[in-house]
Amino acid sequence: MHSAFRVRRTLSFVIILLGAFVMLYPLLWMLSSSFKPDTLIFKDINLWPSTFTWDNYKKGWQGFAGISFAVFFKNSFIIVLLAIAGNLITCSMTAYAFARLDFSFKRLCFAIMMVSIMLPHHVVMIPQYIFYDALGWINSFLPLIVPKFLATDAFFIFLIVQFIRGLPRELDNAARVDGCGPVQIYLRIMFPLLLPALVTTAIFTFIWTWNDFFSQLIYISNPKLYPVSLALRGFMDATSTSAWGSLFAMSILSLVPIFLFFVFFQRKLVEGIATTGLK
């Protein structure tokens, strides 16, 4: 029986390992290609480069149109950090109102919010563009940042609502006995207890905003304002030679912030997902 168990476990491990390799192969190929000369990227199929070079990273970091790639990283960090701050503040406040406060049409508002999760972004894209254009926000970071401070991400509101519903109401009652109002209860009681859910919100906001391409393509046309996702497109040219090596090199660097962010906060991410609605 022990031999059969070991055989099954070994087979399972081999199958999982092969599956992981298949999933990681595109990333490994891109990493390998970032160290190859442009002339060998599509000719040398080996993962280990036959000719090793750092020129792709040097040329890629120089950017294009006289703009260093450091500028694109700075733009991405500005958008991402402000988006995280907006979601953490407004989504937690809105979730607290839905979970703890009583007001007119509460159930209707919550139902409308849930329906908005299923609404495709492309449905509201044109009205939003017309609205932002009337405000003079086109070709700026404002369309990507301001909505985050207006609690427009219904998914995170629902996530935090489920977490708050798992917290005992006795905490609220004890705070009211001590003279706390709704704002003080939110700031002193709820917000500190929401740390796992807030970390989950921050991680997903970071990943989704950093990788966002479509919204940034719609609202930003000035190369000096390009975030990383748009800047990577600058290495491709349909009318001339594309800098594939620089593209792959900067793509690898663009994955580093996401990887580090997840590594440092993965425990809180798992805790936030596991305890949401179950605490």
Higher pLDDT, 268 or 39: 39
263 neighbors 203 (Cβ within 8 angstroms): no
Q: What confidence score (pLDDT) does residue 241 get?
A: 66
Q: What confidence score (pLDDT) does residue 243 get?
A: 80
Q: What confidence score (pLDDT) does residue 270 get?
A: 64
Give the whole-angstrom CA distance, residue 245 versus residue 250.
Answer: 9
Place of tokens 């060998």: 40
As a whole number, the mean pLDDT across the chain is 86
On the question of pLDDT at 239 being above 70, the answer is: no
Q: What DSSP string describes 172-236?
A: HHHHHHTT--HHHIIIIIIHHHTHHHHHHHHHHHHHHHHH--HHHHHH---GGG--HHHHGGGG-
List pLDDT tens digits, range 139-153. 999 999 999 999 888
244 neighbors 38 (Cβ within 8 angstroms): yes
On the question of pLDDT at 268 being above 80, the answer is: no
Give the whole-angstrom CA distance, residue 164 versus residue 158.
Answer: 10
Residue 275 pLDDT level (bands cut at 50, 70, 90): low
List pLDDT tens digits, range 96-109. 999 998 888 889 99
Residue 279 pLDDT level (bands cut at 50, 70, 90): very low
Q: What DSSP string describes the chain?
A: -HHHHHHHHHHHHHHHHHHHHHHHHHHHHHHHHTTS-GGGTTT---SS-SS--SHHHHHHHH-BTTB-HHHHHHHHHHHHHHHHHHIIIIIHHHHHHHHH---TTHHHHHHHHHHHHTS-HHHHHHHHHHHHHHHT-TTSSHHHHGGGGGT--HHHHHHHHHHHHTS-THHHHHHHHTT--HHHIIIIIIHHHTHHHHHHHHHHHHHHHHH--HHHHHH---GGG--HHHHGGGG--SSS---HHHHHHHHHHHHHHHHHHHHHHHHHHHHHHHHTTT-
224 neighbors 31 (Cβ within 8 angstroms): no
**What phi and psi, each to the nearest 5 degrees, are found at residue 64?**
-150, 165
The domain segmentation of the chain, as residue ranges, is 2-58, 66-275
Q: Which of 32-46, 69-83, 259-273 has the lowest mean pLDDT?
A: 259-273
List pLDDT tens digits, range 160-179. 998 898 888 888 888 888 88
Higher pLDDT, 66 or 158: 158
Q: What confidence score (pLDDT) does residue 54 get?
A: 87
Fold held by 66-275: MetI-like fold (1.10.3720)
Place of tokens 């939110």: 186
Q: What confidence score (pLDDT) does residue 147 get?
A: 93
Q: What confidence score (pLDDT) does residue 71 get?
A: 93
List pLDDT tens digits, range 109-119. 999 988 888 88
Q: What is the amino acid identity at position 80? A: V
Q: What confidence score (pLDDT) does residue 87 get?
A: 94
170 neighbors 77 (Cβ within 8 angstroms): no
| Stretch 31-43: mean pLDDT | 83
Q: What confidence score (pLDDT) does residue 6 get?
A: 81
162 neighbors 274 (Cβ within 8 angstroms): no
Candidates 265, 245, 255; CA nearest to 210 is: 255
| Stretch 114-142: mean pLDDT | 89
pTM of the model: 0.84
Candidates 200, 250, 176; CA nearest to 91 is: 200
Q: What confidence score (pLDDT) does residue 260 get?
A: 85
List pLDDT tens digits, range 180-221. 888 899 988 888 888 888 988 998 899 899 989 889 999 998
